[in-house]
Amino acid sequence: MKSPVPDYLDEILRACGDDDGAPADYIPQLAAADPERLAVCVSTVDGHLYASGDADAAYSIQSISKPFVYALALLEHGLDHVLERVGVEPSGEAFDELSLESDSRRPLNPMINAGALTAHALVGEPGDDADARFARIHRLMSDCAGRELDVDEGVCASEMETAYRNLAIANLLRSYDVINQEPLDVVSGYTRQCAVSVTTRDLAMMAATLGSGGRQPMTGKQVLPPEVVRQVLSVMMTCGMYNAAGDWMSTVGFPAKSGVSGGILGVLPGQVGIATFSPRLDAHGNSTRGVRLCTRMSADMGMHIMQAPEPARATVRRDRTLRGPDGSLVRVVSLQGSIQFSGAERVLRIVADGDPVAGFVLDLRRVASTNGVARRMLAELVRRLQLDGTQVALLDPGSFLPLPDDAVVTQPRRLDTLDRYAEHDRV
């Protein structure tokens, strides 16, 4: 059998519509891009990559480098320090506007050029020169891609020849002491960062790295900590698609970042990384067909983060009270599926609403996953039952619950089976 996923990707490439828009033309290298190039890749967070179209065609990463350099600044200096220099508010303006917050003089967010230049300048140690800064950036981006990325020197040189706009921004930032380095150095390093050459496969792997909380799916390396990734995805969600952020949130609904060479990188946290490529751009500077591909995938695959998940089967699979050999009552609550706050709350509620029992068995054998709050709540359930004098046993072969070494309470027993209760009377 052949997997239908590639067929699906082939199908949406075919259906992604007319070839309107035009490639960026401010430098010859971008203007010379084949406007018919088209690719889509989807990478699972365990590293399996599906590709369709020109997935191995290379192009300069351009603005898609911004979230990674922002991540690096966060990694090196922490959120508070970075927030002093770059805000997180949508700008409602073009990506290359020379606008700063009127009082703080911070760039509004790290996805517009002013903020991206500032993030670039934050990378590294105070004494670092442009090469040292770029080396750190190149290291991170390569680690996210899972391979050593090259720089397109032609693009880099050509961009520098007409980098007047970015030089204007960098000089403005320097005049307000938002950056401390020579503006030309910062623009030079930033331009190099944007000229890193990627394929659509690379972008999908970089997206999957963000999607898996910072762990590169293929190499297994934890490239970025989850809290940095969360911040980066938050900013991508509200500011990633230039001044169409609200429209993107409404219609697509997952965090993404586009680049002027035609790429779009999208992330569905915990599930997949997505990348599309088509050089024709719309008025916002986003890839026309890339936007259509993402919109289609979001609708087909239920990727909008504001879409309420379809009702899950009840978390509580079974709730029985048995009479033990000694005549005492034992309540057995069996859970299933993914347990988050609402599932744990349900368990707590039915137990709190029920009558006291001598023994309590929490059966987690069919649980697929839990999150921190659910684990804390279930551990608290165990603790409170024990404080009430109830003897508690866990059926937890997946070791979801920590066994607290709490002096106050008896350690709950781990059981492998409920079989011995089975012969007793149900209540």
Catalytic residues: 63, 66, 190, 242, 260
User: What is the rounded distance in angstroms from the CA atom of residue 89 to the CA atom of residue 101?
Assistant: 10
User: What is the rounded distance in angstroms from the CA atom of residue 6 to the CA atom of residue 52?
Assistant: 7
Cβ proximity to its own copies: between 17 and 398 the closer is 398
Q: Does 2 bind its own copies (CB under 8 A)?
A: yes
Minimum distance from residue 384 beta carbon to its own copies (Å):
5
Q: Does 80 bind its own copies (CB under 8 A)?
A: no
Q: Does 92 bind its own copies (CB under 8 A)?
A: yes
User: What is the rounded distance in angstroms from the CA atom of residue 112 to the CA atom of residue 115?
Assistant: 5
Taking the CA atoms of residue 205, residue 208, residue 210 and residue 212 in that order, the dihedral angle to the nearest 10 degrees is -140
Minimum distance from residue 405 beta carbon to its own copies (Å):
19
Q: Which stretch binds its own copies (CB under 8 A): 121-129, 133-141, 249-257, 285-293?
A: 249-257
Minimum distance from residue 135 beta carbon to its own copies (Å):
26
- Which of 22, 48, 142, 225: binder of its own copies (CB under 8 A)? 48
- Which of 124, 183, 263, 359: binder of its own copies (CB under 8 A)? 183
Cβ neighbors of 139 (< 8 A, separation 6 or more) are none
> Is the Cβ–Cβ distance between 205 and 76 less than 8 Å?
no
Minimum distance from residue 150 beta carbon to its own copies (Å):
28
C-alpha 325, offset from chain centre? 52
Taking the CA atoms of residue 210, residue 214, residue 206 and residue 111 in that order, the dihedral angle to the nearest 10 degrees is 60
Q: Which stretch binds its own copies (CB under 8 A): 117-125, 126-134, 195-203, 264-272?
A: 264-272
Minimum distance from residue 396 beta carbon to its own copies (Å):
12
H helix intervals, 212-319: 226-239, 245-251, 288-301
Q: Does 276 bind its own copies (CB under 8 A)?
A: no
- Which of 310, 405, 419, 425: binder of its own copies (CB under 8 A)? 310
User: What is the rounded distance in angstroms from the CA atom of residue 181 to the CA atom of residue 259?
Assistant: 26
- Which of 73, 322, 381, 394: binder of its own copies (CB under 8 A)? 381
Q: Does 221 bind its own copies (CB under 8 A)?
A: no
Cβ proximity to its own copies: between 2 and 407 the closer is 2
Instruction: For 315-353, give the DSSP string.
Output: SEEEEEEEE-TTS-EEEEEEEEEEE-HHHHHHHHHHHHH
Q: Does 407 bind its own copies (CB under 8 A)?
A: no
Structure tokens at 214: 């910072």
Q: Does 91 bind its own copies (CB under 8 A)?
A: yes
C-alpha 338, offset from chain centre? 20
Q: Phi/psi of residue 319, each to 5°?
A: -140, 100
Q: Does 304 bind its own copies (CB under 8 A)?
A: yes
Q: Does 380 bind its own copies (CB under 8 A)?
A: yes
Cβ proximity to its own copies: between 37 and 62 the closer is 62
Cβ proximity to its own copies: between 184 and 403 the closer is 184
Annotated binding site: 63, 113, 159, 166, 190, 242, 260
Site for its own copies in 131-160 (CB under 8 A): none
- Which of 149, 172, 291, 393: binder of its own copies (CB under 8 A)? 172
Q: Does 305 bind its own copies (CB under 8 A)?
A: yes
Cβ proximity to its own copies: between 62 and 390 the closer is 390
Taking the CA atoms of residue 256, residue 259, residue 262 and residue 264 in that order, the dihedral angle to the nearest 10 degrees is -10
Annotated binding site for substrate: 63, 113, 159, 166, 190, 242, 260
User: What is the rounded distance in angstroms from the CA atom of residue 107 to the CA atom of residue 119?
Assistant: 10
Cβ proximity to its own copies: between 8 and 59 the closer is 8
Site for its own copies in 320-379 (CB under 8 A): 336-338, 340-342, 345-346, 348-349, 351-352, 356, 366-373, 377
Amino acid at 383: R
Neighbours of 366 (CB within 10 A): 13
Q: Phi/psi of residue 246, each to 5°?
A: -65, -40
Cβ neighbors of 32 (< 8 A, separation 6 or more) are none
Q: Does 246 bind its own copies (CB under 8 A)?
A: yes
* Tokens 């966060």, located at residue: 74
Name the DSSP letter for residue 410.
Answer: P
Q: Which stretch binds its own copies (CB under 8 A): 149-157, 224-232, 277-285, 409-417?
A: 224-232
- Which of 126, 127, 309, 327: binder of its own copies (CB under 8 A)? 309
